[in-house]
Chains A and B, each alone.
Chain A
Amino acid sequence: MTTFYILVGYLALLIGLGLLSSRFFKGTSSDYFVVSRSVGSFLLLMSIFGTTMTGFAIVGSTAKAYTTGVGVYGLMASWSGLIHSAVFFAVGIRLWAIGKRHGYLTQCEFFRDRFESQGLGYLLFPILVLLVIPYLLVGVIAAGKFIQPTTAGLFPDAFPMPPLPNGQPHPLNGGIPPWLGSAVVCFIVLFYVFFGGLRGAVWANTFQTIVFMVTGVIAFYMISKNLGGLKAASESVLASDFASARASREGMIGKLEFLSYCFVPLSVGMFPHLFQHWLTAKSAKSFKLTVVAHPVFIMIVWLPCILIGIWAAAYLGPLGEGQSPNSVLGRMVGQLVHSPVLSGLVGAGVLAAIMSSLDSQFMCLGTMFTNDIVVRKFGADRFSDSQKILIARGFILLVVGITYLLSLWLMNSAHVFDLGVWCFSGFAGLFPLIVGALYWKGTTAAGAFASVISVVVVWCVLFYRDIIAVKPAGGASDELLIFGMMPVAIIVAVSTLSLVVVSLFTRKPSDETIRKFFV
């Protein structure tokens, strides 16, 4: 029960942090939504890093390394280190400057003014919300899926599982079921976001980022020690028929697939929750630490996860019927870290990574609905600051409710983490729009519409082919590749082409608008 008590204590700490941050709340909507633009270098780094590292980074990377091997680091982590920092530097700082000059709180506000089009905001709002929801789903489901193996054996009477077909007890018997674990995590995040606003999320992210980085390193040390040390653990991979292929990329990942993953991290340029975090910066210099430290921070989190994933392939062997690779990390911790205290701390670390993304996503949805729909529709003077905050909280509650119900429906779907990649692909497809808006004066409203609509059409067609359409039996790969490349490469190419071609032949924005947005 020690593990359980540590998890409960950790969640209680977050509630306390939410209450504490609410004491610093100044009562204005600007303070609730962007912390009065007062966040310094360290908090910006930790909150942005915590937001970009999701359940996908911790649970998903271990699972993906278990199935696909060491190449997963190059696919996601090292590309992200290069591209994320480039986006923070080239897009984040400019958007921060524009947001500070003109008082923006959301992406839609910026795009409406930049392209002199109210319609563009109304088109983008539902697209951004619909793309954030699968991202939320990944976090909510990952939380539930991780809590169950971590607490396995603790509550055999309350949460029994039928024995396996071979008569062995189910490895998840007595664990807190995913529906309950996910519900508790949603409640905790809602609590500190409700009371602390984005300040609560920034504080909680900073605390949680420290927790998941430190506990990740501890877990890695404990797992490697119990596998006989680093050398023995890796040598067991080479000695295993099942695991040895995972020590390189040959036969696991295609070369064009590896290359085309560079488009996936472009998604951070259009994440609405990151946009909001950029606006919280006190000055442009606040970005410096984030730009430099982000690649190494990614390495600190991903490298242990990838190694644990390939070691798991040797230690656990092939998983049985109905056992998801997403449970690999929980099982390795459960079976190899025998200290209940460390199991509890590692469990808290994984939950920290998951919740540090959920909070920002919850916040951004509330901010967008309040400012892009309600205030836009009824006028800025129609509502007091406290009413705006109330509206934001109401919308957050609605979205979390819908997401939770969807998570129950999709909890056992094999496609949950594919949904995450598709969500990133959608945001990455919109990336040419932000680049055009910031760097090319000739980008027009018609070009922006063409780009967004082309992304929607191409994304829907490819998503249907990959996730919904029935695939022929015996297909070579379960991942949709086009000419050996990730679909995101096609989406970005079509989006860029639409933006450029249509902009060249349509009416340019006014000189006044150009002066407003360009240095």
Chain B
Amino acid sequence: MNTKIAIAVFVVLAILHQDDWNWDNKTLWLGFMPAGLGYHALFSITVSIFWAAVNRFAWPHRIEAWADEGEGK
């Protein structure tokens, strides 16, 4: 279940990457950061938070155990 939610959020993030609304936006956030660049910098931070949540809630424990139990097989 957690894996399915993680995949769904991943797809949403991939969709949010295509920020067409910023395409011709030259506004400078905080006076120096072009909006299209600032949006994607925030996107990178969001992605890190997403992966932290995946590690916490959808970690592949079975694979880890499988590797440890059968070393050298």
* Contact pick for B28, options A82, A89, A235, CB 8 Å: A235
The answer on a CB contact under 8 Å between B24 and A250 is yes
Closest CB of chain A to B48's CB: distance in Å? 5
B26 near A283: Cβ-Cβ < 8 Å: no
Which of B20, B44, B67 is in CB contact (< 8 Å) with A295?
B44
Contact digits for A234-268, partner B, Cβ 8 Å, 1 yes 0 no: 11011000001001111000010011001000000
Q: Is A284 an interface residue (CB 8 A)?
A: yes
Residues of B within 8 A of A73 (CB): 37, 40-41
B67 in contact with A307 (CB, 8 Å): no
Q: Does A96 contact B (CB under 8 A)?
A: yes
Q: Is the CB of B63 within 8 A of A93?
A: yes
Would A296 and B32 count as touching, CB distance under 8 A? no
Cα of A516 to Cα of B73 in the assembled complex, Å: 9
**Is A230's beta carbon under 8 Å from chain B?**
yes
Interface on chain B toward A: helix, strand, loop, or mixed SS?
A: helix
Nearest CB on A from B26, distance (A): 4
- Contact call A89/B54, Cβ cutoff below 8 A: yes
Q: Kindly state the separation between the CA atoms of A385 and B36 in the bound complex, as whole angstroms.
A: 53
Contact A97 B17 (CB under 8 A): no
Is A210 interfacial (CB 8 A cutoff)?
Answer: no
Q: Taking CB as reference atom, which chain B residue is nearest A287?
A: B55
CA distance A284 to B19 in the complex (A): 34
Question: Does A295 lie within 8 Å of B64, measured CB to CB?
Answer: no
Contact of B72 among A98, A103, A259, A298 (CB under 8 A): A103
The verdict on A101 contacting B13 (CB below 8 Å), with A247-B34, A255-B23, A295-B44 known, is no
Within 8 A of B (CB), among A465-485: none
Within 8 A of B (CB), among A366-425: none
State whether A291 touches B55 (Cβ < 8 A).
yes
What 0/1 pattern do residues 43 to 70 of B give for CB contact below 8 A with A? Answer: 1110110011011000110111011101
B contact residues around A259 at 8 Å (CB): 18
B64 touches A285 (CB 8 A): yes
Please name all residues of chain B whose beta carbon is closer than 8 Å to the beta carbon of A238 when the two chains form the complex: 26, 28
State whether the Cβ of A71 lies closer than 8 Å to any Cβ in chain B.
yes
Identify B55's interface contact among A82, A247, A288, A295, CB under 8 A: A288
The reply to whether the CB of B8 lies closer than 8 angstroms to some CB of chain A is no
A residues near B36, Cβ cutoff 8 Å: 70-71, 74, 247-249
Q: How large is the interface on B (under 10, 10 to 19, 20 to 34, 35 or more residues)?
A: 35 or more
Give bound CA distance, A100 to B35, whole Å.
45
Complex: how many Å from CA A100 to CA B22?
46
Give complex CA distance A288, B63 in Å. Answer: 14
Q: Is A461 an interface residue (CB 8 A)?
A: no
| Cα–Cα, bound, A292→B55 (Å) | 8
- Could you tell me the distance between the alpha carbons of A285 and B33 in the complex, rounded to whole angstroms? 36
A499 CB-CB contact with B under 8 Å? no
Which residues of B come within 8 Å of A, CB atoms?
10, 13-14, 17-20, 22-26, 28, 30-37, 40-41, 43-45, 47-48, 51-52, 54-55, 59-60, 62-64, 66-68, 70-73
Taking beta carbons and an 8 Å cutoff, which residues of A are in contact with B? Answer: 70-71, 73-74, 77-79, 81-82, 85-86, 89, 93-94, 96-98, 100-103, 230-231, 233-235, 237-238, 244, 247-250, 255, 258-259, 262, 283-285, 288, 291-296, 298-299, 303, 306-307, 310, 516, 519
Closest 8 pairs (CB-CB, A-B): A97-B67, A250-B24, A230-B32, A284-B64, A299-B44, A70-B37, A234-B32, A231-B31
